[in-house]
C-alpha cells in the first residue's frame, strides 16, 4: 500500500466560529468578547474561547479595580446629575449613564491605592452628542494621579453620536504612589448644563486596556486565556513531523511592550523556541540562541522552519535568518499559542492564523509565506 503524504494543519481563527478540537483551551472565569456576527459586546462563560473578527483573543489575567464599573452613582461625584443614558449600540443590554454638569468643571473622583513599579491603565467609553451635549471643542479628561505625578488623556468629544473608548496609562516606576486617585470629568471651567454619556469604566494593572471586565460592588478578576496544542499526541497527528516542519503564525498585538505569538518548549524540558515581543522588540529564542529583531508594527506574520541544518526564521517577509542548530532528535512537547512557556508573556491581542506543515520549505518560500 502506498504511503499517504502528511497533511498540513491550518487554523484560521478570524474565520472559524468554533475552536478546532485539536486545540486545548481554558480560562477559569467569564470574560467579555465582541460577537463576530453581531459586533456586540457579550459576556461568555468560563473556558469559552473568544473568537472575534480579528482572531482568537488571548489575554493575561487582569482585575478591574473599579468596584462599580458601570454605575457612577457610586463614584465620588463633584457636580454631576445622573439619569439613564443612551445604551451603546455595541452593548445594547448594558446600562449607560447621562451625566449633566450642574457646576462648571464637574468631575468624578475615586481614591485608588497604587503600587510602585507598576503600569496602570484607565479606560472608559464616552459619547457627546446633541444640542446640550459636549460641543466639538469639548475636552473631557481622564486621569490617573498620585503624589509623585500623573497621566492624563484629554478626551476630545467631537459632537458626533459615536462612542469611543478612551484610555490613559501611568507608569509608577520611581515615583511616590501615595495619594493615588482617578478622575473622570470636564476640564477647566466648562459651563454647567453640558452633558456626556459614560459607559464601562475600568482600571487595571496593565500597560494597555484589555477587554471590559464588568463589576458590581467589588473588583472582578478575569483569568488568563490559555491555549495549546500537543502536536505529536503519541504519533497520532498526521500533520506533525518533529524533525522537519514549518510553522507560520499571524498575530495582532495591542501594545509594543510584550506578548508572544507562540512558543514550543521541547518534550525533554529543554527550552524550545519562542516568538513574540519582549521589552518592545521582537524576540526569537531557541535554547541558548537568542535573536532580537526590530519590529515596530502591531501586526506581524512569523515563519519558522526546522530541518537537518537548523532553525530559520522570517518576520513579515524578510529574508530568512538562522537562529538555532539542528535538533532532529528532540520532539516538541507542547505548542503554546499566544504565550511564552504556557502562560508567561501573554499576547494581549489576537492570533489570526496558524499553519503547520509536516515538512520544511526553502528560505525564499518561508519569506514569501510570512509576508
Residues 120 and 143 in one domain: yes
Residues 233 and 183 in one domain: no
Mean pLDDT of 69-80: 93
159 falls within a domain:
yes
Mean pLDDT of 315-342: 72
Residues 66 and 154 in one domain: yes
Confidence of residue 315 (pLDDT cuts 50, 70, 90): confident
Residues 162 and 233 in one domain: no
Q: What local confidence, expressed as pLDDT, does residue 305 receive?
A: 85
4 falls within a domain:
no
Give the bridge partners for 29, in sequence order. none
- Average pLDDT of every residue of the chain: 83
pLDDT tens by residue, 217-228: 999 999 999 998
* Chain-centroid distance, C-alpha 143: 22
Give the bridge partners for 249, in sequence order. 302, 354
Confidence of residue 325 (pLDDT cuts 50, 70, 90): low
Q: What local confidence, expressed as pLDDT, does residue 196 receive?
A: 87
Residues 153 and 257 in one domain: no
CA–CA distance, 230 with 342 (Å, rounded to integer): 12
What one-character-per-residue DSSP string does 81-135 give?
A: EEEE-PPPTTSTTS--EEEEESSTT-EEEEE----SS-EEEEEEEEE--STTB--
Residues 196 and 286 in one domain: no
Q: What local confidence, expressed as pLDDT, does residue 308 receive?
A: 78
Domain of 184, CATH number, reads: 2.60.120.260
Determine which of 33-37, 95-99, 171-175, 295-299 has the lowest per-residue pLDDT on average: 295-299
Q: What local confidence, expressed as pLDDT, does residue 129 receive?
A: 65
Domain that holds residue 52: 9-59+225-369
Last residue of a domain, one of 191, 222, 253: 222
Specify the higher pLDDT residue, 302 or 292: 302
Q: At 335, which helix (H) or strand (E)?
A: strand 335-337
CA–CA distance, 160 with 301 (Å, rounded to integer): 36
Specify the higher pLDDT residue, 228 or 309: 228
Residues 163 and 201 in one domain: yes
Domain of 273, CATH number, reads: 2.60.120.200
Statement: residue 208 has pLDDT above 80? yes
Mean pLDDT of 203-227: 95
Segment of 39-53, 156-170, 221-235, 296-310 carrying the highest mean pLDDT: 39-53
Q: Give the helix ranges, DSSP H, for the chain.
A: 363-369
Q: What local confidence, expressed as pLDDT, does residue 2 receive?
A: 42
193 falls within a domain:
yes
260 falls within a domain:
yes
DSSP state of 73: G
pLDDT tens by residue, 78-135: 999 999 887 887 776 678 899 988 988 889 999 999 999 999 999 999 987 655 555 5
Give the bridge partners for 290, in sequence order. 285
Sheet strands (E) in 128-278 = 138-146, 149-157, 164-171, 181-185, 195-205, 220-222, 226-229, 245-253, 259-264, 273-278
Residues 21 and 148 in one domain: no
Statement: residue 240 has pLDDT above 90? no
pLDDT tens by residue, 137-193: 678 899 999 999 999 998 887 666 788 999 999 999 999 999 999 999 986 667 778
Provide CB contacts within 8 A for 51, sequence distance 6+: 13, 16, 17, 18, 19, 33, 36, 57
Statement: residue 239 has pLDDT above 80? no
Q: What local confidence, expressed as pLDDT, does residue 288 receive?
A: 47
114 falls within a domain:
yes
Last residue of a domain, one of 199, 222, 245: 222
Q: What local confidence, expressed as pLDDT, does residue 90 receive?
A: 79
Domain count, the chain: 2
Confidence of residue 16 (pLDDT cuts 50, 70, 90): very high
Amino acid at each position: 500500500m502506498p504511503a499517504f503524504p502528511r497533511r498540513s494543519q491550518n487554523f484560521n481563527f478570524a474565520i472559524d466560529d468554533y475552536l478546532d478540537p485539536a486545540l486545548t483551551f481554558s480560562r477559569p472565569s467569564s470574560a467579555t468578547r465582541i460577537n463576530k456576527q453581531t459586533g456586540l459586546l457579550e459576556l461568555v462563560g468560563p473556558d469559552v474561547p473568544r473568537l472575534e473578527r480579528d482572531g482568537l483573543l488571548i489575554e493575561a489575567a487582569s482585575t478591574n479595580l473599579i468596584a462599580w464599573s458601570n454605575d457612577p452613582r457610586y463614584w465620588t461625584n463633584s457636580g454631576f446629575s445622573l439619569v439613564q443614558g443612551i445604551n451603546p449600540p455595541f452593548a445594547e443590554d448594558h446600562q449607560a449613564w447621562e451625566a449633566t454638569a450642574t457646576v462648571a468643571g464637574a468631575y468624578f473622583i475615586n481614591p485608588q491605592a497604587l503600587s510602585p513599579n507598576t503600569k496602570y491603565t484607565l479606560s472608559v467609553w464616552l459619547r457627546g452628542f446633541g444640542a446640550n451635549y459636549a460641543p466639538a471643542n469639548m475636552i473631557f479628561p481622564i486621569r490617573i494621579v498620585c503624589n509623585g505625578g500623573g497621566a492624563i488623556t484629554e478626551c476630545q468629544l467631537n459632537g458626533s453620536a459615536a462612542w469611543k473608548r478612551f484610555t490613559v496609562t501611568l507608569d509608577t516606576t520611581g515615583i511616590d504612589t501615595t495619594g493615588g486617585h482617578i478622575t473622570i470629568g470636564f476640564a477647566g471651567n466648562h459651563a454647567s448644563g453640558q452633558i456626556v454619556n459614560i459607559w464601562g469604566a475600568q482600571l487595571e494593572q496593565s500597560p494597555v486596556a484589555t477587554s471590559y471586565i464588568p463589576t458590581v460592588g467589588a473588583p472582578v478578576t478575569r483569568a488568563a486565556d490559555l491555549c495549546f496544542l500537543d502536536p505529536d499526541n503519541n504519533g497520532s497527528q498526521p500533520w506533525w513531523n518533529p524533525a522537519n516542519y514549518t510553522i507560520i503564525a499571524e498575530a495582532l498585538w495591542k501594545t509594543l511592550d510584550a506578548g508572544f505569538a507562540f512558543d514550543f518548549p521541547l518534550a525533554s524540558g529543554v527550552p524550545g523556541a519562542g516568538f513574540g515581543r519582549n521589552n518592545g522588540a521582537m524576540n526569537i529564542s531557541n535554547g541558548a540562541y537568542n535573536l532580537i529583531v526590530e519590529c515596530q508594527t502591531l501586526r506581524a506574520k512569523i515563519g519558522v522552519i526546522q530541518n537537518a541544518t537548523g532553525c530559520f526564521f522570517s518576520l513579515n517577509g524578510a529574508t530568512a535568518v538562522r537562529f538555532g542548530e539542528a535538533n532532529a532528535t528532540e520532539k516538541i512537547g507542547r505548542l503554546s499559542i499566544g504565550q511564552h512557556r504556557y502562560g508567561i508573556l501573554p499576547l494581549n491581542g489576537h492570533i489570526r492564523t496558524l499553519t503547520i506543515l509536516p515538512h520544511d520549505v526553502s528560505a525564499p518560500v518561508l519569506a514569501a509565506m510570512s509576508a
